[in-house]
């Protein structure tokens, strides 16, 4: 039975990874300090092969026994989080990644890093390929997250080159689905929460900035294929279907049956104007692409939020 450690295992993506790995016959350790994760995300798990460890991964990690895979997903991942927790975000991307890589080296485990499309910053290349080096403001308010992930990638590749750690780097684009928090700060949970309450939908700028949204089940499948692949290159995992934020707001209003109006607010500093993954590498290396339509994914997410609110 393969054994995996998921840091950030009580988070949105991390908890879905735990479910997926358990269903694949893995023994799973979920590690989380619950600073942004929620124990409710894994409370449903009733499996003798599952263990939860409450720990901050910036501290030394000691686990007995073999570990075959380490999936490093610990980090605040929403602007509302990393603007409120800038130092913690930098520490988990640096110290936390260092500790997790040290464990991977000691256990001879494959290491999957949850990186992000934010390494591309406010991109000057569109769509974004893995060969693009990015356009990031290192001293802006978003820099704490962008640079933490860029450092994580550099550190992971250093461990691969120097110590031979079998590193995988997933550049994750906007992902959505059940278990996102009601107060998350990202577009889809924010719009759904506001629409279900009948509150005005908050759109920043003129709403013409674009994003690409991947449903969680598709994302997890792509991540697993990357984890078990032979590739050590960064790979974009996301949905290439691009849409404007204004179109997204209008679609959520329609799907929820809400009477909410749209309110426009100033665009935050360094907010990316475009975001769309080129997933040619994922198609080639992993034979993967997303399959869930936006309407189907949004319907499942809206139903989850109705039950939570």
Q: What phi, psi does 128 have (nearest 5°)?
A: -95, 125
* d(C-alpha 7, C-alpha 192), whole Å: 28
Look at residues 172, 288, 296 and name the one whose alpha carbon lies nearest to residue 221. Answer: 288
Look at residues 165, 5, 170, 166 and name the one whose alpha carbon lies nearest to residue 77. Answer: 170
Catalytic site residue 145? yes
Q: Which of 145, 159, 176, 215 is catalytic?
A: 145
User: Where are the alpha helices (H) located in 24-78, listed in sequence order?
Assistant: none
Instruction: Give me 264's structure tokens.
Output: 């426009």
The residues that bridge with 71 in the sheet, in sequence order, are 6, 112
The DSSP secondary structure of 200-246, one letter per residue, reads PEEEETTS--EEE-EEHHHHHHHHHHHHTSS--SEEEES---EEEHH
How many CA atoms does the CB half-sphere of 286 hold within 13 Å?
Answer: 29
**How many angstroms separate the Cα of 163 from the Cα of each of 10, 33, 150, 158?**
29, 28, 20, 8
With both helix axes pointing from N to C terminus, report the angle between 12-23 and 216-227 in degrees, rounded to the nearest 10: 60
Instruction: Give me 226's structure tokens.
Output: 């990357």
Cα 107 → chain centroid? 25
The number of residues making up the chain comes to 309
Q: Which residues are catalytic?
A: 145
């Amino acid at each position: 039975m393969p054994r995996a450690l998921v840091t950030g295992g009580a988070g949105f993506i991390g908890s879905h990874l735990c479910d997926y790995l358990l269903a694949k016959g893995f023994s799973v350790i979920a590690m989380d300090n619950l600073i942004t994760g929620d124990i409710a995300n894994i409370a449903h798990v009733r499996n003798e092969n599952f263990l939860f460890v409450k720990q901050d991964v910036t501290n030394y990690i000691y686990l007995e026994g073999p570990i075959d895979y380490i999936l490093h997903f610990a980090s605040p991942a929403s602007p509302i989080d990393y603007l409120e927790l800038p130092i913690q975000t930098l520490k988990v991307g640096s110290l936390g990644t260092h500790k997790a890589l040290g464990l991977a080296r000691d256990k001879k485990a494959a290491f999957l890093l949850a990186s992000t499309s934010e390494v591309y910053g406010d991109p000057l290349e569109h769509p974004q390929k893995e060969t693009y080096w990015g356009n990031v403001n290192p001293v802006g308010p978003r820099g704490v997250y962008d640079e933490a992930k860029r450092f994580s990638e550099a550190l992971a590749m250093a461990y691969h080159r120097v110590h031979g750690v079998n590193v995988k780097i997933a550049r994750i684009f906007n992902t959505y689905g059940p278990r996102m928090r009601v107060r998350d700060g990202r577009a889809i949970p924010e719009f759904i929460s506001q629409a279900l309450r009948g509150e005005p939908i908050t759109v920043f700028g003129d709403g013409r900035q674009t994003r690409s949204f991947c449903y969680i089940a598709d994302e997890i499948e792509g991540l697993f294929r990357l984890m078990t692949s032979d590739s050590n290159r960064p790979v974009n995992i996301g949905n290439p279907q691009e849409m404007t934020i204004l179109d997204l707001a209008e679609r959520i209003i329609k799907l929820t049956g809400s009477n909410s109006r749209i309110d426009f607010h100033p665009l935050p500093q360094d907010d990316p104007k475009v975001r769309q993954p080129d997933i040619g590498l994922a198609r080639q290396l992993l034979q993967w692409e997303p399959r869930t339509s936006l309407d189907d994914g949004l319907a499942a997410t809206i139903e989850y939020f109705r039950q939570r609110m």
